[in-house]
Structure 1
């Protein structure tokens, strides 16, 4: 009878290439009983827009199906039913745009459906426009806003209240009859599993757990390519889901077993410990940084103590090989992507004032990409990964600015950070 929908999107205008990132459908029968529901994240193939609002991360969305992969299934959920939503005009415009992009013209028109926002003027005259306020005025319980499934459930409950008020048959009986005759084009309904949001507190397994424990261990694993990637990954002291996948793929390509990678991680930690201990003093900040690296690469905190003890007592450490530290330098080309707080223009102005060049697109000359979400699927982020350009979070970039070289002599006085090696 009714298909109540809700969408989360990258923005508010299809004409600005905004896309759907989550879709939910709740089915109601003629009496207002819930008969089914379906929800999935959608990979938009671009950055996710206002993530502070919808709360969807690129790490989640990148594993979700594209809309064209679920188009047939969603059509099956809508076909023959009256489409309903809170602000149906908004949701209908995005559905039409996505289906058009997939090559289909679909009979999705606000004039043929029910908008619980517009109907509120008749049933809830004291309520505001928002779904939250309409639900409050209707005496419905609070819900988790800006989650497609929770919003669709709330809109469905609102429609149920309207149905209870009007009796049988409802005044929109003609729309119910017409919905059954709307000509939906045939389209294949591929068997694609929906991808749900991760629950609060969910943590993915450590990427080391995905590596095979092959025995015996390689005696001299050729890990330079792996360590070079690790240098880039750890620049912002964060390993995104995309970066974890890349580390696993590189290790497997090189034929490294889990024990090999653990050996490389210990060597990497030892190198950072040498940098921290070379002046004979290890500060609290340096130890905290080493602990953070150990956590990220799956080593125990006790390994930090061991690495520092060896570094402090090794009289020959000055002669041992050390990779050059990665730093931003004046005139480096930096690019920004994603919605940031404050506005991106302020970040770009600060970068220019610090002596950096700011680009509007990623090229091979780009030194660093600063992304609101390091797992971003924006065109800039995809190009940066293709070129091997580091992608860091804005908070890490701010730390890098404090170490920006201000003269030919080197870095700022007193800057002894071990923020990454290359």
Structure 2
């Protein structure tokens, strides 16, 4: 099921954007839909937030790890805590980000710029990608007044497809969660709700899934 698809005219969109991170990103569109998994370049992304509603909750941190075909080059990984003077509240019990850590973070514009630099020419990879898409889109609009469309591969959707295998029965409750899905492939459990760690966990899950789907699977079939 296609959640988000980069517009075919993204290069044309670049001409209407002012110089800056959005234009630079739009000038390097994602790989074409025919690109096979063994040649596909993605960026596994995870965000930590104060909640799940992008219209009311805040973006706290962004973690990302590149995926090149069947490898995860950790040298390209990044993690940015977003500076804020507002208290993080009860969500700290989930993600562990403290008010002091937020005060020492980077501005939202810098965090987004670093992400877009890493994501340029790649496909965004996330588990339940609607969360990342919603928060990143809203953050772009907050900083620059507009956003660019993102092409996403969603490991939760891939897991649903793999578990269903053409049957109408829904997967068991909880089986689509990141750590449950990883367990089905014998992948280790990391400490959850840290953006960089969760991005790596998503990248590893994706490689396990594609090994089952086949490395000649096209991007079109992955979205």
TM-score, normalised by the number of residues in structure 2: 0.71
Kept in 1, the 8 Å contact 2:43–2:125? The answer is yes
Q: Structure 2 matches for 1:240-251, cutoff 5 A?
A: none
Q: For the pair shown, which has the larger CA radius of gyration, 1 or 2?
A: 1
Q: Does 1:10 align with 2:57?
A: no
The higher-RCO structure (CA 8 Å, 6+ apart) is: 2
Q: Does 1:89 align with 2:160?
A: no
Q: Structure 2 matches for 1:18-417, cutoff 5 A?
A: 18-35=57-74, 36-49=76-89, 50-109=91-150, 112-125=151-164, 128-173=175-220
In the alignment, the residues of structure 1 paired with residue 163 and residue 206 of structure 2 have an alpha-carbon distance, to the nearest angstrom, of 12
In the alignment, the residues of structure 1 paired with residue 97 and residue 70 of structure 2 have an alpha-carbon distance, to the nearest angstrom, of 34
Shift of 1:30: 1.4
In the alignment, the residues of structure 2 paired with residue 54 and residue 104 of structure 1 have an alpha-carbon distance, to the nearest angstrom, of 28
Q: Which runs of 5+ in 2 are unaligned?
A: 1-40, 165-170
Structure 1 residues 170 and 96 mapped into 2: Cα distance closer, same or farther (>3 Å)? Answer: same
Shift of 1:156: 0.5
Shift of 1:20: 1.0
Equivalent residue pairs, number: 173
Q: Which runs of 5+ in 1 are unaligned?
A: 177-422
In the alignment, the residues of structure 2 paired with residue 106 and residue 78 of structure 1 have an alpha-carbon distance, to the nearest angstrom, of 14
Structure 1 residues 174 and 161 mapped into 2: Cα distance closer, same or farther (>3 Å)? Answer: closer
In the alignment, the residues of structure 1 paired with residue 134 and residue 196 of structure 2 have an alpha-carbon distance, to the nearest angstrom, of 19
Shift of 1:175: 7.2
RMSD: 2.0
In the alignment, the residues of structure 2 paired with residue 38 and residue 80 of structure 1 have an alpha-carbon distance, to the nearest angstrom, of 17
* Structure 2 counterpart SS, 1:28: strand
In the alignment, the residues of structure 2 paired with residue 168 and residue 130 of structure 1 have an alpha-carbon distance, to the nearest angstrom, of 23
TM-score, normalised by the number of residues in structure 1: 0.39
